Amino acid sequence: MMNMNSLSAGLTGGFLILTVIFTLNTVSAAAATVEQTTMTHLDAIRSILPGQESKVVNGYNKQMDQAWKYFKAHKKAVLPILRQELTEELDKREPSNLFLLDIGYYLRLQDSAEDKALATRALFKLDLTSDIVAENHQLLFMLAHAVAPDRDPGMLQLLDEAFLKKSVTIYIPQHALKLSETMVCVFLYGVYGEEAETHLRSLLTDPALTNKVIEILIWIGSSDSQQDIKSVMLAQRNDETFSRATAYMMTAGGPAGRATMLEINSSDLDAESQHYYQRIRPDIELVSYSSLKAQLSGFPGAKSLSDAILKKRLAAMYEHYGKDSNTNPEAVLNSTIPASELIQTLSRIRARMFYRLSDEALGDVEITNAIINTLHFKQKNSKPGQPGR
């Protein structure tokens, strides 16, 4: 006969087995539920159609919001499913463009290199001419802005087709910031980095793009574009191009930009440009290193820093996407670090500022551009007998 201890042990063992089986079944059921719910959300995204009335579109937006909330709440279980589904979608002959956009952007926000690479593939797989992509230009902007810093060789052409050649405006609700079509491009080409300037310069001679490209270069350009902008300004001879070129020359063109404006023969200009030029020429004549430096006075912080401390500050600015509340612009101008080195460093920092989709970032870019332009005059000043002193 089995004694009570043996019976107890047997019952305990039996309960343990049943408990394990129940637990495994529960886990399996939970996993199945997550997969089923995830697939329901994904199928809903695939079924969304363009050209719907506002009430239907609002319903679509709620569906997509609910999907993301679910993905975030069950991220560990959901991510493998999203990776697999996006990979399969990418292999389709005619994938769902909205699926590529939405799931691609969600994966781009994750930490793993695998997810980011998959999102990049999704971006480049998109049919930019599709109606659903046009209607979801906000999502396209966010995905493109996230991918642009990777400097993929095809990125600049994608930006040209999706944004530069179109009129796309964006609203950033977190900062109550509305971006005009030019500022949309400023953020995208700006976050790509310095190489974007060379690419944009090559598009200046396209009359349909000239003015917009100059507007972008006012924000992200350097004195390297001065000759090209001068050429199109004199070739096109219209007040819209002239006024934009003037703004570039005086904010990014350095001493060469100022010299270009002073060398202009007003008789070569159209009537409106002549009137504008006659009005602003006295101000152009007054521009010098001293006058530009004076415009950067009044900021808090020490006006002089050792080169070692300044370099540490600049390195920290780069790491923090251009954020800094301690460094006075005059400390940069008063530094003994070569102006060329400072210009190069600040240009790299400026590109990082465009990661931040905010008015504050644009304010930082404006100050940085003013410092860079002033450093060009300082650099010219160091050569005795040169103009612009």
pLDDT by residue for the chain (389 residues), tens only, comes to 334 344 344 444 444 444 434 443 444 545 568 899 999 999 999 999 998 888 888 888 898 999 999 999 999 999 999 999 999 999 999 999 999 999 999 999 999 999 999 999 999 999 999 999 999 999 999 999 999 999 998 999 999 999 999 999 999 998 889 999 999 999 999 999 999 999 999 999 999 999 999 999 999 999 999 999 999 999 988 999 999 999 999 999 999 999 999 999 988 889 999 999 999 999 999 999 999 999 999 999 999 999 999 999 999 999 999 999 899 999 999 999 999 999 999 999 999 999 999 999 999 999 999 999 999 999 877 654 444 33
- Give yes or no: residues 281 and 299 share one domain: no
Q: Are 268 and 236 contacting, i.e. CB atoms less than 8 angstroms apart?
A: no
d(CA 58, CA 210): 37
pLDDT of residue 30: 53
**Gap between the Cα atoms of 376 and 323, Å rounded:** 23
In this structure, is residue 181 part of a structural domain? yes
Does a structural domain hold residue 370? yes
Q: Which of 150, 173, 190 is the last residue of a domain?
A: 190
Note whether 301 and 369 are same-domain residues. Answer: yes
Of the candidates 373, 382, 384, 295, the one whose C-alpha atom is nearest the C-alpha of residue 338 is 382
What is the C-alpha separation between 80 and 78, in angstroms, rounded? 6
pLDDT confidence of residue 309: 97
Q: What pTM was estimated for this model as a whole?
A: 0.88
- From residue 222, alpha-carbon distances to 257, 259, 317, 338, 370 in Å are 10, 15, 20, 17, 11
Which string of DSSP letters, residue by residue, matches 1-35?
Answer: ---HHHHHHHHHHHHHHHHHHHHHHHHHHHHHHHH
Domain of 155, in residue numbers: 38-43+57-190
Question: Is 51 within a domain?
Answer: no
* CA atoms of 251 and 257, how far apart (whole Å): 9
- Domain end (from 254, 287, 320): 287
Residues in Cβ contact with 316 at an 8 Å cutoff, skipping those fewer than 6 apart: 324
Same domain, 273 and 359: no
> How high is the pLDDT of residue 60?
86
How many structural domains are present in the chain? 3
Structural domain contains residue 266: yes
Residue at a domain's end among 287, 314, 346: 287
